[in-house]
A and B are shown apart, each in its own frame.
Chain A
Amino acid sequence: MAVVAQPHDPPQGHVINQTHAEVTRDVVATLGPPSRGYLLLLAAAVSLFLIGIFTFLILIKDGLGHAGYNPPIFWSVYITTFVFWVGIGHAGTLISAILFLFRSPWRTAVYRSTEAMTVFAVMTAGLFPIIHIGRQWIFYWLLPYPNQRFLWPNFKSPLIWDVFAISTYLTVSTTFLVFGLIPDVAAVRDKVTGWRKMIYSWSSVGWTGTDNQWRHYSRAYLYLAALATPLVLSVHSVVSWDFAVSIVPGWHGTIFAPYFVAGAIYSGIGMVLTLIIPLRRALRIEHMIHSYHFDNLAKLTLLTGSILLYAYAMEYFVAWYSGNTFEQTTFYRRAFGPMWWAGWTMIICNAFVSQLLWFRKIRTNLTALFVISIFINIGMWFERYVIIVSSLSNDYIPWAWDQLNPTWADWGILAGSFGWFGMWFLLFAKTFPIVAIQEIKEMIPMPRRRGGHG
């Protein structure tokens, strides 16, 4: 074999101290019977999901009055959570598609889990506009078909752009995930027995890894990555235009698209860290995802966190420099108004906590990274909360100003979304290879008779 496995020797850089057979064995082992910890986590996720379902049923029965909407604030926790989950998805596509095009070796071990996270996060996000519209049973009015008087949707509205952007993103990222899974499912099929073999045989759609299959597959994978790359940048830009195209103070900024994309990737990597730090231990794949990968993930976090620091500073600067009293008031109230605590949570968790990652010791300390990732998740949820609620709560007419008081209906749905997301992610991690077998193998030189590497 090319390289002798040394399980106790932490691998350096992207060199993988494993043989092809060991990769298959270790990844297939992650699909074994679930541990007690896994079942407890799954039960927690399902319970949260049931809380969400219960809240949703009450909303369907009684209407949105239970949620904390309070004039002039008609976009609140649901839209905040929608933007939060769409953003989470972006890191997955960045790692799976953009870093694929850049040929970053460190992406290989982590990209499957991040891509699954993308799909489930966008699946979660997609529920929120539907919950938010109130009469959920007529959500299909958003699709481009005419009403009874043959009036079509208004394609000049960012909300319709969003329908196209999010549904395209969900479709393409699901396709990308499933497509990447096919050779790996085939590898699992050849290792398992009984009814599991039957299920994996069916889902591997006849993959045998012939030269002809690889030839088309590799090309197609490249094109899918090339298509997903501009898509991921466009999706959060379109989401940001939901705000920026309006004239609400604090929303109407040209910086919004890049600012939202950077924030999305930042929040997504935060969620990646929160998920894979415990997961690698639970699935015993510490030798596949180790400090090298976390160091690189942390560097990406630092980069996007610094972009956010710049964007926050620039927002305040432009508000001051514009001389526009509405803009100035909005930003003053974000820091010193009734929502100061949310405003500072956002700035501290996003712009400042990420700066700790300049230190290599912190980047490679998993406990520190896990704690930072929780701060990122909280901070990024609050970023959207601050942008949406604080801007709406002080509009152009001061007598109309009011505050938002989120209710149990807001928190119930928010908790339900975490349960729904967690449930799918956990089920995925035990059903499909969470580390890309085939791509890891591609990085390991195959053994040679004449010695040396290829």
Chain B
Amino acid sequence: MALLKRGKSAARRAPGLVASFIHVDAAVDAIRALRAKGYRNLVVYTPAPNHEIEEALEHGVSPVRLFTLIGGLTGCTAGFAMTIWMSYDWPLVVGGKTIASIPPYVVIGFELTILMGALSTVAAVALFSVLMGKRGTPYDPRFSDDMIGVYVPTTHEQLGPIEQLLRSAGAAEVRHETS
């Protein structure tokens, strides 16, 4: 709800067009044509991830993987550091083993690797998709159902030609997002 309201207020600020597509190849054609015209800040809505659209948008690999790696390494280090430090903090011989016996601590190190790796992955998605992502771009409930949406922020002068481009690519519907 809040998101939809934000969408309306954002629309008042910047003019743009929202095209709805039924056909994936039509949407891909439109994206390629718009990118060829220099429109790089498109927002494309799909009900499920779609490889053709990803390719058309030419996105790089998500930086989420770096967070997974850092989280995992942090967890692993924390697991071993905690067990070894705690063993030496109160040195006690258990079962005739050395004070800090590495093999049993592998379990703790391993579990914390997974835990921190997973949590930092999710945190990275929250960071990139929610906090750093574009907010309040116009949305239509059908984009989560069976339609592909393409939002093109543009200038008042370009609204006509871009609408023409979207329609000729095969947009089922084009909506103006202007104040």
Contacts and interface: CB of A to CB of B under 8 A. Distances in A.
A63 to B, nearest CB: 29
Interface in B31-65: 42-50, 52-54, 57, 59, 61-62, 64-65
Given A164-B111, A441-B47, A449-B25, A151 B137 contact: no
Residue among A206, A228, A446 having the largest count of chain B Cβ atoms under 10 Å? A446
Interface in B93-146: 94-95, 97, 101, 104-105, 107-108, 110-112, 114-115, 117-119, 121-122, 124-125, 128-130, 133-135, 137, 139, 141-146
Interface in A176-194: 176, 179, 183, 186-187, 189-191
A171 B62 contact: no
A189 B1 CA distance: 9
A40 interface: no
Contacts of B62: 215-216, 218-220
Contact of A197 (B1, B45, B48, B68): B1
Interface in B47-97: 47-50, 52-54, 57, 59, 61-62, 64-65, 68, 72, 82-83, 86-87, 89-90, 92, 94-95, 97
Contacts of B44: 210-211
A215 B46 contact: no
Contacts of B82: 144
B24 A442 contact: no
B38 to A, nearest CB: 18
A216 to B, nearest CB: 5
Interface stretch (A9-17, A152-160, A344-352, A380-388): A152-160
Contacts of A205: 130
Contacts of A152: 86-87, 89-90
A447 B83 CA distance: 56
B24 A438 contact: no
A183 B144 CA distance: 8
Interface in A437-453: 438-439, 441-442, 445-450
B124 A187 contact: no
Given A216-B129, A450-B25, A24 B146 contact: yes
Query: Which bracket fits the contact residues of B?
Result: 35 or more
A168 to B, nearest CB: 4
Given A164-B112, A227-B121, A449-B170, A206 B23 contact: no
Secondary structure dominating the interface of B: helix
Contact of B43 (A19, A164, A212, A231): A212
Secondary structure dominating the interface of A: helix
B148 interface: yes
Interface residues of A, number: 66
Residue among A144, A155, A439 having the largest count of chain B Cβ atoms under 10 Å? A155
B119 A210 contact: no
B22 interface: yes
A231 B1 contact: no
Contacts of B4: 201
Nearest to B44: A211
Given A209-B47, A212-B134, A219-B64, A186 B104 contact: no
B92 A151 contact: yes
A218 B52 contact: no
B129 A212 contact: yes
Given A208-B139, A211-B44, A219-B65, A172 B114 contact: yes
A319 interface: no
Given A212-B134, A454-B24, A230 B114 contact: yes
B2 to A, nearest CB: 7
B174 interface: no
Contact of B117 (A24, A197, A219, A227): A227
Contact of A446 (B23, B101, B110, B128): B23
Interface of A: 19-21, 24, 144, 146, 150-156, 160-161, 164-165, 168, 171-172, 175-176, 179, 183, 186-187, 189-191, 197-198, 201, 205-206, 208-220, 223-224, 227-228, 230-231, 234, 238, 438-439, 441-442, 445-450, 454
Given A165-B107, A179-B125, A227-B114, 6 more contacts: A164-B107, A198-B1, A201-B4, A210-B44, A211-B54, A223-B65
8 contacts: A24-B145, A144-B86, A152-B86, A155-B83, A190-B145, A210-B43, A214-B54, A234-B107
> Which 3 A-B pairs have CB atoms at the shortest separation, nearest pair first?
A190-B141, A20-B146, A152-B86
